């Protein structure tokens, strides 16, 4: 994985990099800001991340179907023949900056790309909390596994691929980046810092902070990290008794779309509580990136059956879950948004 610091800090064009480099972290975690500069490590906003951009003239060929099964197949949910049939039935997918159908997730429900800024303070990696993050060693392991080694894993009798060359880790089967390279990458990620925040902590923001506290938001989005670093169950998931007793599990579901947590290879039954730091330069709210801006996330209209999301979506329908803040007065809601944008 090529460290994102190799990218220039400002430019007016996307850097011309080799295909292998774009498969690395910088391709997803480099953000083009409104002033034309690049923010390294942030949620990427290059609008070509969705892998379901199928040709409309003909169905996907065998090679592409094999690729899709290796990366997204979940045989305990759907048999391969049914999976391929559904892939051939998918029409052209909308491209949306900030989401990505990465391996192990869903072709139809791509998750949003997270920001890596402040990752050293986050206890779980992936929106589903798939990997624990206790030290730089965990981050190093996560990096090497997610460059393709997870396709060599076994899920019962199912192994996505037996070809080590499919991992993309090196030019020869079985190769990977060295511990020294992975450690350097981890240090680079830990060194990432947000840009100066242009949003002033004025009287409106201070009012919004009081709304934030009054509504109980710190219970999950606890300052100063603005996350409790805990896991919340997806809709329909029954928390095992041994996990229910641990301090990192919240015994309440916020009701968001359960597909990523329940129907993919990265599913755990949980979603992690995200940090609210840096929401002013992010888009694609919710783990599916359905709400484009904070204003949309706090708009009760998103719950309507015929709602057309401004973020990633395949068809009209509600953005369900996390209804906190939807009943605020317009004045309180605006103040809350102003405050959140100062974080």
Residue 310 CA to residue 317 CA, distance in Å, equals 11
pLDDT for the residue 20: 42
pLDDT digits (tens, 9 = 90+) for 320-343: 999 999 999 999 999 999 999 999
3-state SS, residue 8: coil
Please give the DSSP secondary-structure letter assigned to residue 19: H
Determine the 3-state secondary structure of 217 from DSSP: helix
- Between CA 206 and CA 203 the distance in angstroms is 5
| pLDDT tens sequence across 84-93 | 888 877 765 5
Cβ–Cβ under 8 Å, residues 15 and 8: yes
**Helix-helix angle 136-145:179-190, to 10 degrees:** 110
> Would you state the pLDDT for residue 9?
34
Closest CA to 328 of 206, 199, 212: 212
Whole-number Å distance between alpha carbons of 70 and 83: 12
- What are phi and psi for residue 296, nearest 5 degrees? -70, -40
Integer Cα distance of 340 and 335 in angstroms: 9
As a whole number of angstroms, the distance between CA 317 and CA 178 comes to 46
Query: Where in the chain are the domains?
Result: 201-219+279-343
Question: Whole-angstrom Cα distance, residue 72 to residue 119?
Answer: 26
- Among 194, 176, 190, 185, which Cα is nearest to 6's? 185
pLDDT of residue 66: 87
Q: Is the pLDDT of residue 148 over 50?
A: yes
Please tell me the least confidently modeled range out of 68-77, 145-154, 165-174, 247-256.
165-174
User: Given a cut of 90, is residue 193 above it in pLDDT?
Assistant: yes
Q: What is the pLDDT of residue 47?
A: 64
pLDDT-based confidence at residue 52 (cuts at 50, 70, 90): very low
Residue 259 tokens, joined: 């597909």
* Residue 183: pLDDT over 90: yes
Mean pLDDT of 261-286: 95
Is residue 272 pLDDT above 50, yes or no? yes
pLDDT at 132: 96
* Residue 101, helix vs strand vs coil: coil
Closest by CA position to 111, among listed 234, 259, 270, 227 = 259
DSSP letter string, 234-281? PTTPPPPHHHHTSTTB-S-------HHHHSSTT--SEEEPPP-TTGGG
Decide the pairing of beta strands 231-233 and 131-132: unpaired
pLDDT score, position 165 = 57
Q: What is the C-alpha to C-alpha distance for residues 179 and 99, in angstroms, rounded to an integer?
A: 29
CB 240 within 8 A of CB 264: no
- Give 88-111 pLDDT, tens digit per residue: 777 655 568 888 888 899 888 889
The pLDDT, as a whole number, for residue 150 is 81
CB neighbourhood size of 208 (10 A): 23
Pairwise pLDDT comparison (148 vs 210), residue with the higher score: 210
Place of tokens 């100062």: 342
What is the token pair recorded at 314?
Answer: 């395949």
Taking 80 as the threshold, does the pLDDT of residue 23 lie above it? no
CB 104 within 8 A of CB 74: no
pLDDT for res 56: 47
pLDDT for res 232: 96
């Amino acid at each position: 994985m090529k460290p994102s610091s190799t990218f220039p800090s400002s430019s007016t064009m996307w850097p011309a990099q080799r295909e292998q480099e774009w498969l690395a972290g910088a391709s997803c975690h480099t953000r083009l800001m409104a002033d034309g500069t690049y923010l390294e490590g942030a949620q990427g906003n290059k609008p070509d991340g969705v892998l379901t951009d199928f040709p409309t003239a003909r169905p996907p060929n065998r090679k592409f179907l094999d690729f899709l099964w290796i990366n997204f197949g979940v045989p305990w949910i759907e048999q391969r023949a049914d999976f391929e049939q559904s892939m051939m039935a998918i029409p052209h997918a909308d491209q949306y900056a900030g989401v990505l159908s990465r391996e192990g997730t869903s072709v139809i429900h791509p998750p949003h790309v997270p920001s890596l800024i402040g990752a050293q303070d986050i206890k779980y990696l992936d929106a589903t909390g798939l990997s624990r993050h206790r030290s730089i060693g965990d981050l190093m392991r996560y990096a090497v596994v997610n460059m393709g080694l997870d396709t060599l894993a076994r899920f019962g009798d199912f192994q996505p691929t037996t070809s080590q060359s499919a991992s993309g880790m090196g030019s020869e089967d079985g190769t990977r980046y060295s511990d020294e390279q992975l450690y350097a990458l981890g240090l680079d990620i830990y060194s990432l810092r947000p840009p100066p925040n242009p949003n002033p902590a004025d009287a409106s923001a201070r009012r919004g902070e009081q709304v934030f506290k009054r509504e109980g938001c710190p219970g999950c989005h606890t300052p100063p990290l603005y996350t409790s670093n805990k896991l919340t169950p997806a809709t329909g998931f029954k928390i095992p008794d041994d996990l229910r007793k641990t301090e990192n599990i919240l015994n309440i579901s916020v009701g968001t779309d359960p597909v990523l947590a329940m129907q993919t290879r990265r599913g755990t039954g949980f979603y992690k509580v995200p940090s609210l730091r840096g929401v002013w330069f992010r888009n694609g709210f919710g783990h599916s990136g359905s709400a484009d801006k904070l204003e949309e996330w706090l708009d009760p209209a998103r719950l309507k059956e015929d709602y057309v999301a401004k973020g990633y979506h395949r068809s009209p329908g509600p953005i369900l879950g996390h209804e906190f803040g939807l009943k605020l007065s317009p004045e309180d809601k605006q103040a809350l948004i102003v405050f959140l944008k100062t974080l």
